[in-house]
Structures are given as structure tokens and as C-alpha cells.
């Protein structure tokens, strides 16, 4: 298993790099996607090259790492390492389930026909179904032969979702995230891509019971 994260922007990297260094386990390789690798000399990095920051990059990067190294990947947001229950690093998950910490409170599911037409056309979806709104702060992606196709899908979906969030008016929580980049609400299309690739999801307690 490998751990990965995404950290983009000088201020963000400066603020969270040392917290990552402090809280990340020493016995599992950490790989960070960043435009400021000088802040992450304590771990392996890959260069973030998009001109505009996209939240969706965490999905493509995680699946890329899984595909590249043929291994399970635990993704943790750069500002969330301190809330992870450290005991999970000792676990061998040994599961085919995609594990997520929680769904978005008060917005747990979406109707698939509310998603962009280009996304539905890509998958050839005509009917309707409910999909989970995964809170993508911490999640576990198990490696399998399905990862290659998932990664291919997510590269296409990223373009569609990034364009959608650039051209549509943000609502609710999206207003906050739209200030820092595009591709927000990335757990929704990610959830659909998991379904379409036959990857079953399951809730799992990644965080500490009491967060100080």
C-alpha cells in the first residue's frame, strides 16, 4: 500500500507540509502531487502541472498511483493527516471494497440525471439512479484489474467536470470551494465512475473518534 496526497500553492504547501511530515506514517511510502516539491523533500513527489488547481486531481492521481505501482492506495487530504486514526496504518485492509470515511452531511446522494449530459453520454446512461456523494477527504482505493479502466475513465471525466464547474454557477458549499479552484464536488462523478467500473463502496472509520 502507498499513501498519496495533493498539495498545490505556496501558502497551502507552506502551511501543511510540516504537519504531513509530522503525522504521516514512516513505514508506508508517501507520494505527494504538488507544484512546490521543495516543501516535500521528506517524501516522494510528482509535479502538478495544470494551470488551474482542480480538486478532481486527487481522483486521477490516486488511480494513477494505483495503476503505476499495482498497489492499493490510501488518499488523505493534505490538511487532514492529523485527524486520521494512526492505528489504521497497521492494518492490512485486504478488501476489494473502495472505502470512504463518510458521505457529505445533509447531501448524501445525488440523482445521476442531475449530472452533466456529457458525463452521462460518456457512460451511455439513459435511466436514473441514486449515487453516493462521497466525502473525498480520506479514502482507500484497492488495486485490481479494474484500475486501468477506472484511470482512463477519470481522465475523461476530469475534463468534463472541470469544464462544468468553470461554466456553472456554484451553489451551497460549492461557493466556498470555487474560490480556490475548479473540479469541486469531485466525489459525485468519482462515485459514478466507481459504479460503472464495478467497484463496490463501503463506509470505514478512518478518523479518530475524538478530534481535538
pLDDT confidence of 129, banded at 50, 70, 90?
A: confident
DSSP letter at 26 equals: S
Q: Which residue has the higher pLDDT, 127 or 15?
A: 15
pLDDT of res. 210: 64
Give first-to-last CA distance, the chain, whole Å: 28
Residue 95 grid cell: 478488501
How far CA 115 is from CA of 12, 32, 104, 143, 209, in Å, comes to 30, 30, 17, 27, 34
Taking only Cα atoms into account, the Rg of the chain, rounded to an integer number of angstroms, comes to: 16
List pLDDT tens digits, range 28-86: 999 999 999 999 999 999 999 999 999 999 999 999 999 999 999 999 999 999 999 99
pLDDT confidence of 174, banded at 50, 70, 90?
A: low
- Record the pTM: 0.94
List pLDDT tens digits, range 147-160: 999 999 999 999 99
Structural domains of the chain, with CATH? 2-203 (3.90.550)
Contact 139/98 with Cβ under 8 angstroms? Answer: yes
Amino acid at each position: 500500500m502507498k499513501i498519496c496526497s495533493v498539495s498545490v500553492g505556496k501558502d497551502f504547501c507552506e502551511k501543511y507540509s510540516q504537519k504531513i511530515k509530522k503525522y504521516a506514517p514512516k513505514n508506508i511510502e508517501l507520494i505527494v502531487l504538488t507544484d512546490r516539491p521543495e516543501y516535500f523533500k521528506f517524501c516522494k513527489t510528482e509535479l502538478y502541472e495544470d494551470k488551474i488547481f482542480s480538486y478532481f486531481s486527487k481522483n486521477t492521481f490516486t488511480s494513477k498511483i494505483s495503476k503505476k505501482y499495482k498497489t492499493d492506495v490510501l488518499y488523505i487530504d493534505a490538511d487532514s493527516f492529523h485527524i486520521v486514526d494512526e492505528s489504521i496504518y497497521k492494518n492490512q485492509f485486504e478488501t476489494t471494497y473502495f472505502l470512504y470515511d463518510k458521505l457529505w452531511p445533509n447531501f448524501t446522494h445525488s440523482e445521476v440525471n442531475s449530472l452533466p449530459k456529457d458525463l452521462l453520454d460518456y457512460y451511455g446512461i439513459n435511466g436514473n439512479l441514486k449515487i453516493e456523494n462521497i466525502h473525498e477527504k480520506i479514502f482507500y482505493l484497492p488495486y485490481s484489474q479494474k484500475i486501468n479502466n477506472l484511470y482512463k475513465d477519470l481522465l475523461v471525466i476530469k475534463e468534463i467536470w472541470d469544464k462544468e464547474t468553470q461554466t456553472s454557477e456554484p451553489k451551497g458549499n460549492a461557493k466556498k470551494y470555487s474560490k480556490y479552484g475548479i473540479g469541486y464536488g469531485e466525489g459525485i462523478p468519482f462515485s459514478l465512475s466507481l459504479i460503472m467500473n464495478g467497484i463496490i463502496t463501503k463506509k470505514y472509520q478512518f478518523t479518530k473518534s475524538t478530534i481535538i
